[in-house]
Amino acid sequence: MNERTTQALHHLMFEVEPHDYPEELEAVRKEQTAIHAAGDDALKAEAADLIAENAVDMQSHLADWHLKSRQRHPDTALSDEDLMAEVERNYALLEELGESERIAAAKAKTAKVKSSNLLKLARGADAGLHNTRWGNDYASGLRDAMQKGAILVTTNPVLVGVAAKESPDYWTPIRDRIRADNPKADSVEIAALMTIKVVVQNARLLRPVWEMSDRRLGLVSLQLSPKEAFDADVMVEGALRIYEGLCREIGGTPNTVFKVPGTKAGITVAGELTKRGIGVNVTVNFSLPQQIAFAGVIEQNSTAPLSFRTQMDGRVDDPIGEELKDAGVADWAEVKTWATTAIRQREYRMLCMSPQDGGLGFRRSFCLGASGRGPWNVLRSVADGPATVFLTVFPNRQVEFDEVPREINPRAIWEPVPEEKLATLLHKSKLFRQAYEPDGMATEEFDTFLPVQRTLTEFSAAYDRFVAWCGGQDDALK
């Protein structure tokens, strides 16, 4: 889908007032009919794609924000029946245009959206049944995720590199245009420009959500080089420079937060940025000691509306599993899935619950689960407590989560970890004890914590490959 089509769909979903929508959509249908009749094959396809995708949009979570919102439009909000009438008009037009295959594709996509467990999760939060929101943990595919209720996205050079590897026909021309427009830029600068382009695209897609949620949702997480994780001055300088560019590019306060590594230097960066009103997302973050340190400095300093503390679930569960296996634990693969569940439960009780309930009542930063390895990472994180739990989900994990119907337990985070699993973790895994106990690590130990070292090493290598690709080495990502 090209940018022109995306903008037209965005306009229909978010910018047209509900009482004007049927008339506006009819005008779009007439315009696209004329384009289809006079255009070449590419324009015919573009016109048909717009009408078909709009039919999906009207039956997705996108319509909930504006067109169907009784809160925003108490007297003029459209009903499901109103929108289905427009959907049928879209299908009738596609039939007239000889585009029956697109009707079938739109209906198939709509069926997947409507049956999505992620959509159920999103609408449960909308209805106040729980306080858990989800987002896309990938550099592309945000719009499809938003149809199922995604309200944030993670974007960094590593993820852009993964997307470029999987879809070179889409990403290579973008890279080449950026290189042509910036002939004096080196490969590192091209990598930054590539990442910023993706950030701006995603920020514009989420901008209406950000505006309608009073700047609490609709945020894009931005990270530049993971190789700067131990240099606070370089990280602050780079973030401020990029932030100024984003302000110019977006035309106002950007709906972005900066990824800050969970290193000792990262604590300084989090404090410096949040006191300037710039939100952060603490990444390379695995443990309760890290959560406590970063939550404290953000709570003390922040004037930003929202910051996140990303707990990278699978990237600590996996090495914990290795320890359990080496210790001879027979069911190590099952036991390790409870590690970050236990950490998140303790983090939520300590940092998010109000003082009268035994917590600190922090509200300037929120837990964000990421890098999950299976449906349990989502299902066990659903909370009905006072602070929102955010989750980002890889595309393949989104598919896995939606494969079969699942029950969403709004109080899942309060379900106790099985005693025998927790006992095994505590007795057999040093890494788990470091991550689970509030005093399991000193600040000075963050940089040498095994999951931190592994993740930064992996991210740095992936970053180097991405930079090489940005410099024109097409086989660098293979």
- Dist CA 354 CA 361 (whole Å): 4
Alpha carbon distance, N-terminus to C-terminus of the chain: 25
- Dist CA 414 CA 391 (whole Å): 17
Candidates 119, 129, 132, 163; CA nearest to 369 is 132
- Residue 50: its pLDDT value, please? 98
Candidates 142, 171, 135, 28; CA nearest to 90 is 28
Candidates 292, 288, 307; CA nearest to 346 is 288
- Dist CA 176 CA 180 (whole Å): 6
Give how far Cα 162 sits from Cα of 140, 282, 311, 314, 462, Å.
10, 21, 21, 18, 9
- Dist CA 424 CA 324 (whole Å): 8
Strands 152-155 and 219-222: parallel
| pTM for this model (two decimals) | 0.95
Q: pLDDT tens-digit profile of 101-123? A: 999 999 999 999 999 999 999 99
Strands 307-312 and 365-370: parallel
Are 102 and 45 in contact by the 8 Å Cβ rule? The answer is no
Residues of the chain with pLDDT under 70: none
- Dist CA 219 CA 210 (whole Å): 7
- Mind spelling out the 3-state secondary structure of the chain? CCHHHHHHHHHHHHHCCHHHHHHHHHHHHHHHHHHHHHCCHHHHHHHHHHHHHHHHHCCCCHHHHCCCCCCCCCCCCCCHHHHHHHHHHHHHHHHHCCCHHHHHHHHHHHHHHHCCHHHHHHHHHHCCCCCEEEEECCCCCHHHHHHCCCCEEEECHHHHHHHHHHCHHHHHHHHHHHHHHCCCCCHHHHHHHHHHHHHHHHHHHHHHHHHHCCCCCCEEEECCCHHHCCCHHHHHHHHHHHHHHHHHHHCCCCCEEEEEECCHHHHHHHHHHHCCCCCEEEECCCCHHHHHHHHHHHHHHCCCCCEEEEEEHHHHHHHHHHHHHHCCCCCHHHHHHHHHHHHHHHHHHHHHCCHHHCCCCCCCEEEEEECCCCHHHHHCCCCCCCCCEEEEECHHHHHHHCCCCCCCCCCHHHCCCCHHHHHHHHHHCHHHHHHHCCCCCCHHHHHHCHHHHHHHHHHHHHHHHHHHHHCCCCCCCC
- Residue 81: its pLDDT value, please? 98
- Dist CA 143 CA 262 (whole Å): 29
- Residue 110: its pLDDT value, please? 98
CA trace torsion 101, 106, 111, 114 (10° rounding): 180
- Residue 7: its pLDDT value, please? 94
Q: pLDDT tens-digit profile of 401-422? A: 999 999 999 999 999 999 999 9
- Dist CA 32 CA 93 (whole Å): 10
What is the number of other CB atoms lying within 10 angstroms of the CB of residue 436? 23
- Dist CA 107 CA 295 (whole Å): 45
- Dist CA 276 CA 253 (whole Å): 12
